[in-house]
Amino acid sequence: MSDHKVSIAGLFLHPVKSCAGVAVDSATLIETGFEWDRQWMVVDGHGEFVTQRERPRMALVQPTLRGDDMVLRAPGMLALHVALYAVEHAATVRIWDDRVRAFDMGDLAAQWFSDFLGQSVRLVRFDPDEQRVADPKWTGKQRALTAFADGFPLLVLSTASIAELNRRLTLQGAAAVEADRFRPNLLLEGLEAHGEDWLDRIEFETPAGPVSLRVVKPCSRCSIPDVDPRRGEPDAAVGATLAAYRADPRLNGQITFGMNAIVEQGLECGLRVGARGHVTVKFD
């Protein structure tokens, strides 16, 4: 193993699963990842989660966190105010293979999302008493929790990986893309392209104490990176380009980009853009 210095180039929250992300200057670590990340989710009439895979327009829903509420804006819609500390009735919903407890956010939010997406849906909030456990096949002995993220608390990406993808896209005459296509939580500067593939731990010293994030699993990619977040419409160039060079033998040839991580140490500590830390690199 060897150590390398890194810095935080970007921090991102995605309050409503599969809606637009929010770039922030700082973020607080909690058991499920960053505070306010993937705490809300859109579900259909059967309680099944709905994402950009089926409704690319979700990328156009822009959240803003302020004070005691979250403001959601979307083209052609009046702003929707969602209370951060209030819910309505209990619900049970499904995300992938997990059935979890949640809270319905009421008829006004349901109508707002239904009108915008063109199907009957509801907005739910993750029940903080629910314990959705990340796959122990990857986390090992540590019991890691997540909210409505696909499977793990945090997603890590490097600026160099985005730069390499953009190099390949522009060679083909396609438009360059931003990191938000890949919905990371933590964007790192100081690694080589796809250097995050071989990370073991990411560590920072903060005023509240040390932070240690353990990198556990490559992030397999579906169709969401092909959704242009500015237009809310599919654009196949990204997926086709990744398929040419990102087949990952660790996941039986699935296309991967970025790495999933869990919080090993540092609950209630804050990370800030520009913070310097170091990573431990493992070579398999």
pLDDT per residue as tens digits for the range 136-151: 999 999 999 999 999 9
Residue 3 has a pLDDT of 77
Gap between the Cα atoms of 215 and 139, Å rounded: 9
Looking at per-residue pLDDT, the higher value among 223 and 196 belongs to 196
Q: What residues contact 71, with CB distance under 8 A and at least 6 apart?
A: 63, 64, 79, 80, 81, 82
- Report pLDDT digits (tens) over 213-256: 999 999 999 888 889 999 999 888 999 999 999 999 999 999 99
Average pLDDT score over residue span 103-114:
98
Average pLDDT score over residue span 102-120:
97
* pLDDT of 188 over the 60 cut: yes
Looking at per-residue pLDDT, the higher value among 39 and 223 belongs to 39
Asked whether the beta carbons of 163 and 170 are under 8 A apart, the reply is: no
> How is residue 180 written in tokens?
């938000």
pLDDT band of residue 283 (cuts 50, 70, 90) is low
Q: What structural domains and CATH numbers belong to the chain? A: 2-281 (2.40.33.20)
Gap between the Cα atoms of 224 and 235, Å rounded: 10
Residue 222 has a pLDDT of 83
Q: What residues contact 65, with CB distance under 8 A and at least 6 apart?
A: 13, 15, 22, 36, 84
> How is residue 97 written in tokens?
């293979």
Q: What residues contact 107, with CB distance under 8 A and at least 6 apart?
A: none
Residue 4 has a pLDDT of 86
Residue 184 has a pLDDT of 97
Residue 2 has a pLDDT of 66
Average pLDDT score over residue span 40-49:
97
Q: Locate tokens 């660790």: which residue?
A: 250
